[in-house]
Amino acid sequence: MTILDDNALGTSAATGSALTPSPSAVASPGTPAAPAPLSIAGALNAALRDALADDPSVVVFGEDVGPLGGVFRVTDALHATFGESRVWDSPLAESGIVGTAIGMAMYGLRPVIEMQFDAFSYPAFEQITSHLAKMRNRTRGRVSLPVVIRIPYAGGIGGVEHHSDSSEAYWTHTPGLTVVTPSNPADAYSMLREAIASDDPVIFLEPKSRYWSKDAVALPVRTAPMTRAQVLREGTDVTLIAYGPTVKTALEAATLGEAEGLSVEVVDLRSLSPFDDETVGASVRKTGRAAVIHEAAQFGGYGAEVAARVTERQFFHLQAPILRIAGFDVPFPSPQLEEHHLPTAERVLAALDTWEW
């Protein structure tokens, strides 16, 4: 297991630049706190804390999530506040963590479990795809499994093998799983609360390179439903479709493009499965062009599904083939080569500049 002691809740030197606040962010009823700088890691911690306080059936467990507070400190101080019966360390056995969560959910609990790093979830693949995802269908709707699997994912932290991966295509290919990923602190809080309240399993992908991105947020906050995409920036020439870590990249590319006279619209998918055809379709019909950005390898990646869906539904509105800007079709590289592997705003803009307009 890996310990990242300097990454505690927004105090890291690795602090990223703040994202544009979600335009859908609105205060929930009641008297929220005054807006204050909040990181995505801090927002997730607050969401877990509030969910544990509000619902005694919520439990949190996984490797190092107890007294340590998780390698990214997302579960910081929860063990001390709620005790060993609500928040605890599990053995180093991901398949066992998911299997235990399935059993707990069948008996009325709402487990929130952590996979620590993206590729650590692969030993649990069989439990997730064969059992967690299928139980409702297998029992003709009689058994639901309200389990949230938190998976820190994607690159950008200089991680080694198994510590930087983008596994979204595996999970979105599996019917029975809702797969979501926030890109800003307000969505991180709101979407995790909604995921925990869901009666069906949710794969909650957390972009670890953005854990320390901050916005001014007043908690508690309720943003748009987690299954809806959001237009974060209006434009007229092309729609950039992004999610999780690449939302910041898309916004940076849009700013660079504006200096060149290119009007770029940025859509944050937020939910990878189900897919919000309505919001994406409306944007593509408006701009006539679409490009999708992700960090995972291009071949067989999530961008292929996006391109197919948009083509099927918006073909007669498209003025050019759909562009994919992705990681290269190689295993995730060493930290020394990571910056060349991940899509950057400059790479996005270069791809747009050489597109068939």
Q: Which of 79, 163, 294, 341 is catalytic?
A: 163
Q: Are 249 and 348 in contact (CB under 8 A)?
A: yes
Phi, psi of 85 (to 5 degrees): -80, -15
Q: Alpha helix (H) ranges present in the chain?
A: 40-54, 78-82, 94-106, 125-126, 135-138, 168-172, 185-197, 246-259, 277-287, 302-314, 338-341, 345-353
Q: Are 39 and 211 in contact (CB under 8 A)?
A: yes
The residue among 51, 14, 36, 42 whose CA lies nearest residue 185 is 42
Q: How far apart are CA 299 and CA 132, in angstroms?
A: 27
Q: Are 250 and 240 in contact (CB under 8 A)?
A: yes
Query: How many residues are listed for the chain in this entry?
Result: 357
163 is catalytic: yes
Q: Are 163 and 173 in contact (CB under 8 A)?
A: no
Residue 101 sits at the vertex; the CA angle it makes with 98 and 106, to the nearest 5 degrees, is 130
Q: Are 197 and 34 in contact (CB under 8 A)?
A: no
Residues with a catalytic annotation lie at 163
